[in-house]
Structure 1
Amino acid sequence: MMSNPTTPTLLLLFILTAFSAITSAAPLEHAVSLFGKPAYPEGFSHFNYVNPNAPKGGTLRQSALGQFDSLNPYVDRGVAAAGADLQYDTLLARSWDEPLTKYGLIAEKIERDPDNNWVAFYVNPKARFNDGKPVTAEDIKFSFDLLREKGSTFYRNFYLDVDQVTVTSPERALFKFKHNKNRELVTNLGQMPIFPKHYWKDRDFSSPGLTIPVTSGPYKVKEMQPGRSITYQRDPNYWAKDLPVCRGRFNFDQLHYIYFLDTGVALQALLVGEYDWLMVSDPKHWQKLFSSKNQALLKKTGLVTETLPNSNPQTVMLTYNTRKSFLKDRRVREALGSALDFDRLNQNYFHDLLRRANSYFSGTDLGAKGLPTPEELKWLEPWRNQLPKPLFTRTYIPPGHNDSNKRAQRAKALELLKEAGWRIRDNQQVNSKGEPLTLTLLLTNPENERYTLGYRKSLKALGIELSIRTVDRAQYIERIRNLDFDMVTNVFRHTPSPGTEQKDHFSSAVADLHGSRNLAGVKNPAVDDIVGRIPTATSREQLLSLLHALDRVLLWEHYSLSLWYQPDWPLVHRAYLKHPQQTAPYALDISTWWFDGSQKKTAK
């Protein structure tokens, strides 16, 4: 006769059963997608937007602005060198022809709980650091702990929903979640860079520096002149070079970055042959390329121009720091926006090459249009009494756009300022304390000063004094990290599938943290609610409704003024630099380009 199990035995059985439930074998996957199935099946050979037979070789010379004093792009100290992220591999690699799907890189396989309570990553047995030592699950756990404890503010908040990480075997790292509502947590973890524990355990990860680290990526630093140039050498022994996610990529033997103080000098250096490839962000510079003088230079130096389609939301914004007392009132921010004459600016400075942005996600289906839909109202209605009334009744049109009646526009701006408690005295707006309304716009590129002069003049007509302060890039980055500015132009770097990072851009929780990407200092319960729901979206349609609702709140609260966007990437490069005929819609992926040596020999 079998005796009854004792209480300790039952407890042990319970613990083992619970552990088994967490670690029981789920199907091993080669990729994870936020919605739907991955486009590329297991065993695929390469991404569709690469040339799998692209030749290897040559040096790609590129430009960078400012200077650098660090090789670590994952901390909020120092200025990382251009290309520094190419030193590191991540758990998974993103495909840039899908909104959000990631495929095996350091993690060969992914094991997921069907109820989204945990995920396990299995290390590819081929994975190696560039000192020859294998990547292990211990390195994965170490990297996670390192980023969350000493990484930038972004990483410390990106992984908040992870409860703990356990190494269950040398090749398996198990991530347990605090709850199962964050549906994109698995893909977020997939983009985590992996650092060698044996190298970093006795070093200070949080300090910037130029000591060349042990890494695992396709390139490693060859040489550098601090602040002036840096060269990366393709690792011929790169462990992942034959993986499907790498085939046809990382084709140049060397990547050489040359630093310039501003974009104008950089463009002239390109035209005289100092480097090879440039994405032209300034329409004025793009227009200059087609002058007869520069056309002759293009031909002489073997340069060609082309545009590639850009499906990424990349809106240039004028952002107001609402932490500053003069910018706390929404009516003041709206009045400031009304002073911008975009159409005149576009015609006089940008040759009508820019499109006016009316969204944080302009040029994509992520931006709000028209009036709120029933699906959007589901997220907005609970906050109706705390939100601007026009949000529910009017289509948003950015201030200063297509308004032929400039006098009426100026009158509206003055009325907004009056409602906010400002009065004109001696041609200046002053508050009840007699303080004048004076603001500073912080810039890092001297060339951008030219298009702000008209804006400053318009503000002057309203009684507002605007100073324009241009600082070097290192000082600019430090002031942004310290939230030490009144107004700044910026781009919120969104992906085609925005998610958890929206909290870092707009949530109250990070508004006052050093290094926060919430530049405007948004502290809005409606925004907090919506950005908290975005990672929990169960379908693309639901995600879009949440993003549209978020867009409306941000726009009508006038935290930033949407300026413009470019629907294409304007490029100028040497004719001997080639790219696949089918390019990635969601990224300008220079890693897919290659060097045509035969054409260079014939170039004059």
Structure 2
Amino acid sequence: MRHRIARWMVSGLLCGTMGVALADGHGLSLYDSPKYPADFEHFDYVNPDAPKGGQIRLAGFGTFDSLNQFILRGNPASGLGRVYDTLTVNSDDEPFSIYGLVAERIELADDRSWVRFHLREEARFHDGEPLTADDVVFSFDLLRTEGHPNFRLYYADVESVEREGDHQVRFNLGSPDNRELALIVGQLPILPKHYWEGREFNRTTLEPPLGSGPYRVTRVDQGRQITYERVDDYWARDLPVNRGRFNFDRIRIDYYRDMDVAVEAVKAGAYDLRYENIARNWATAYDVPAVRDGRMRMVEIPHERPTGMQAFIINNRQERFSDPRVRKALGYAFDFESTNEAIFYGAYTRTESYFSNSDLASTGVPEGQELEILEQFRDELPESVFDQAFQAPRTDGGGSIRDNLRRALALFREAGWEVRDGRLVNAESGERMSFTFLMRDQSFNRVIERYRPNLERLGIEARVRIVDDSQYQNRMNEFDFDVTVLVLPQSRSPGNEQRSYWSCEAAETPGSRNYAGICDPVIDELVDQLIRARDWDTLQATARALDRVLLHGHHVIPHWHTRSDRVVYWDRYAYPDTPSGDGFDVDLWWQVPDAEAEPTDDDA
């Protein structure tokens, strides 16, 4: 989930009487009161006077074969979230607060055993049919039973949902200690019951879906292009949570299968804005007349969100990777420092936390409340968790990593591997250490090609296999890989989504985010404690403890991060002056009045 979670309560009437609502108002926050009062007019980070109209063309990568984003099957198109409304909306300048969208009012029980949403009577689907409590109940039940497995993991603690009238729905929260549960049910996408009852939900489709959100799908060219158009009579366009957002009349996403081609395309004006995540391109690719004369702009938008963990993900399910000493040894062969200087122009900082760029990251050795949490599991954790600060292997950046390779070989020997005739083999079975990097494009080839010679010096055979986007997604859903590159994003306040990342159940659930196959009772318990944290200090200490245990398990080889979003765009667009804390969000941008966008195929 994208940047969800971190304080809890509600604005409005507060009461302490048992059996009545603890809070009854326009919003909820995880621990404190929401920042925005009941009569707020717009979020601070939007331009409330942003002009509506115009169009913007964006780039997608790979391909798509479905417009159903809610199931495991298929590879859904980008941007489909704009088609659907949710009960509530998250603010981007608070760790985790929600405000009513479809829900006009929110009630929370004093013991947090239930949350009730009062729906706006004016809410409508795009076909004019009213959005009611029946649609909310239908959506929740459908997504948990037939939707992507992550819905089941995310809403695992919700006991049931009840229709209490046409415009009133109540979620019974089976675990009152799960403090964010009332907030995350507000994120539920609402599907039209009358539309889906006559269709098979658990299959891919290219039929434009029916929703109630600010955009509808108007044109689809499978795998190549999708176009969204703003709904003129969108029922919620004037609500405070939407003011200054969703400003373009048309959003078109063109798909590219080669990243270099995509870079050349934006410079040629084939599309309008590119989120640039390749340091080499940022440093060298845009030295062109359009940038020099100001027709194309390059901006770095700072953000305060956790950067998460980008890494070589090692599939612990493979027997040869099951020993943490083997995984740690592989990390010693990766020379970040010389890679950063040689191909990234020194642009990156090494990642040494799953919650990097936040106060949730573990540092030094554990102390205070974090240490108290970890002491519960002392007998089940390596001593290094308590007496060693985690630090990714370092080099001098000169390209020689002889000392690191010696340490790697020592770890391999401890784990039962030895070098025979220049090949690293299992001492008992004689099986050679070999594996394949499964990739979906060539953008990481330069990194892997700097890594492979060090692996070969250890006697390891490492191969690279690049597959198409659909095959890659299918293989990742089934955990059919040795090593790959992924980003594991994090919110500013982690919670229920952590089950999908780290739990034993998720390790056996196809389509979960537990790509590494982590299954550890200590980690399962820390995730549960994180979800049950009763205040911000406890959540922070528990997140640090979880982070530390994950790091000392050496499940991944950490990469790098940057604390800003790099955007290249043609100078006919603008964005708000006030940052949100979440960085780049194209739904806050607008087309400058009188600035003509380039024609699209739809205009021909």
Q: Distance in 2 between matches of 1:388 and 1:277?
A: 48
8 Å contact kept, 1:555–1:561:
no
Answer with 1 or 2: which has the greater Rg. 1
Corresponding residue of 1:560: 556
Q: How many angstroms apart in 2 are the aligned matches of 1:493 and 1:127?
A: 32
Residue 18 of structure 1 corresponds to: none
1:152 matches 2:148: yes
Contact map agreement 2:294 2:571 (CA 8 A) in 1 = no
Map 1:98-497; keep pairs closer than 5 Å. Answer: 98-290=94-286, 294-299=287-292, 302-314=295-307, 315-400=309-394, 406-431=401-426, 432-497=428-493
Per-residue deviation at 1:373?
1.5
CA distance in structure 1 between the partners assigned to 2:254 and 2:512 by the alignment: 29
8 Å contact 2:54–2:597 — kept in the other structure?
no
2:570 aligned residue (550, 569, 574): 574
Q: By how many angstroms is 1:110 displaced?
A: 0.6
- After TM superposition, give the deviation of residue 574 of structure 1 in Å: 1.1
Using the alignment, how far apart are the partners of 2:18 and 2:198 within structure 1?
33
2: distance between equivalents of 1:174 and 1:226? 39
CA contact (8 A) 1:403 1:409 kept: no
Question: Does the residue aligned with 1:442 lie in a helix, a strand or coil?
Answer: strand
8 Å Cα contact 2:572-2:597 kept in structure 1: no
SS at match of 2:391: coil
Question: TM-score by structure 2 length?
Answer: 0.93
Contact 2:440 2:467 in 1 (8 A): yes
- State the Cα distance separating 1:179 from its structure 2 match: 2.5
1:382 Cα deviation from its structure 2 partner: 2.0
The amino acid across from 1:577 in the alignment is: Y
Q: Tell me how far apart the structure 1 counterparts of residues 497 and 121 of structure 2 sit (CA, whole Å).
A: 31
User: Which residue in 1 is equivalent to 2:515?
Assistant: 519
Q: Residue type of the partner of 1:415?
A: A
Shift of 1:471: 1.1
1:400 shift after superposition = 4.0
Gap change, CA 1:204 and 1:23, over 3 Å in 2: farther
Counterparts of 2:439 and 2:121 in 1: how far apart (Å)? 47
Deviation at 1:587, TM superposition (A): 4.3
- Aligned-partner SS, 2:577: coil
8 Å CA contact 1:252, 1:595 repeated in 2: yes
Q: 1:28 deviation in Å?
A: 2.4
Mean Cα displacement is larger for which, 458-467 or 404-413?
A: 404-413
Q: Distance in 1 between matches of 2:283 and 2:337?
A: 17
**Structure 2 CA distance for partners of 1:403 and 1:396, relative to 1, 3 Å:** farther
Task: Indicate if the aligned counterparts of 1:320 and 1:560 stay in contact, CA closer than 8 A.
Answer: yes
Distance in structure 2 (CA, Å) of the matches to 1:142 and 1:378: 43
Match of 2:582, as an amino acid? Y
Distance 1:200 1:401, change over 3 A: farther
Q: Using the alignment, how far apart are the partners of 1:495 and 1:586 within structure 2?
A: 10
Q: CA-atom RMSD, angstroms?
A: 1.7
Please tell me the residue identity of whatever aligns with 1:569.
D
CA distance in 1, matches of 2:319, 2:397: 29
Amino acid at match of 2:417: W
C-alpha distance in structure 1 between counterparts of 2:150 and 2:584, whole Å: 23
Q: Could you tell me how far 1:585 is from its partner in structure 2?
A: 0.6
CA distance in 1, matches of 2:397, 2:159: 52
The verdict on how the C-alpha distance between 1:463 and 1:540 changes in structure 2, with shifts beyond 3 A counting, is same
Structure 1 residues 35-63: Cα deviation after superposition (integer angstroms, max 9, x where no partner): 10100000100000001110011111000
CA distance in 2, matches of 1:193, 1:601: 32
Question: Do the aligned partners of 1:443 and 1:488 also contact (CA within 8 Å) in 2?
Answer: yes
Task: For 1:234 and 1:170, locate their aligned partners in 2 and report how far apart those are by CA, in whole Å.
Answer: 28
Q: Give the whole-Å Cα distance in 1 for the aligned partners of 2:493 and 2:583.
A: 13
Gaps of 5+ in 1: 1-20
Distance 1:354 1:506, change over 3 A: same
1:80 aligns with 2:76: yes
Amino acid across the alignment from 1:412: R
In terms of fraction of residues, the more helix-rich structure is 1
The alpha-carbon distance between structure 1 residues 25 and 96, as it changes in their structure 2 partners (threshold 3 A), is closer
Q: Residue 598 of structure 1: SS of its match in structure 2?
A: coil
Deviant stretches of 4+, over 6 Å: none
Query: Relative to structure 1, is the Cα distance of residues 345 and 217 closer, same or farther in structure 2, using a 3 angstrom cutoff?
Result: same
Farther-moved stretch of structure 1 (222-231 vs 371-380): 371-380
Unaligned stretches of 5+ in structure 2? 1-16, 599-604
Give distance in 2, aligned partners of 1:339 and 1:601. 48
Report the counterpart of residue 501 of structure 1 in structure 2: 497
The Cα of 1:301 is off from its aligned counterpart by 8.6
1:233 aligns to what SS in structure 2? Answer: strand
Q: What SS is found at the alignment partner of 2:263? A: helix
Aligned residue-pair number: 579
- Which amino acid in 1 is paired with 2:344? F
| 1:243-292 Cα shifts (integer Å, max 9, x gaps) | 000001000000000000022111110000000111100101111135xx
SS of alignment partner, residue 120 of structure 1 = strand
Q: CA deviation at 1:362?
A: 1.3
Is 1:58 matched with 2:54?
yes
- TM superposition score normalised by structure 1: 0.93
Could you tell me whether the CA contact under 8 Å between 2:21 and 2:110 is conserved in 1? no
Equivalence map 1:9-88=2 (5 Å): 27-88=23-84
Residues 523-534 of structure 1 correspond to what in structure 2 (within 5 A)? 523-534=519-530
Identical positions, percent: 39
Q: Is the 8 A contact 1:67 1:79 kept in 2?
A: yes
Q: Is residue 547 from structure 1 mapped to residue 543 from structure 2 by the alignment? A: yes
1:581–1:264 distance in 2 versus 1, CA, 3 Å: same
Q: 3-state DSSP class of the match of 1:558?
A: coil
Cα deviation code 1:447-473 (max 9, x no counterpart): 211111111110000111111111111
Q: Secondary structure at the match of 1:28?
A: strand
Aligned partners of 1:535 and 1:57: how far apart in 2? 42
Counterparts of 1:27 and 1:335, CA distance in 2: 52
Q: Give the match's secondary structure for 1:467.
A: strand
Which letter does structure 2 place at the counterpart of 1:385? Answer: D
Aligned equivalents of 1:83, 1:587: Cα separation in 2: 18
CA contact (8 A) 1:119 1:174 kept: yes
* Cα pair 2:53 2:591 within 8 Å, conserved: yes
Is the Cα–Cα contact under 8 Å of residues 380 and 526 in structure 1 kept in the other structure? no
Please give the alpha-carbon distance, in whole angstroms, between the structure 1 residues aligned to 2:511 and 2:21. 40
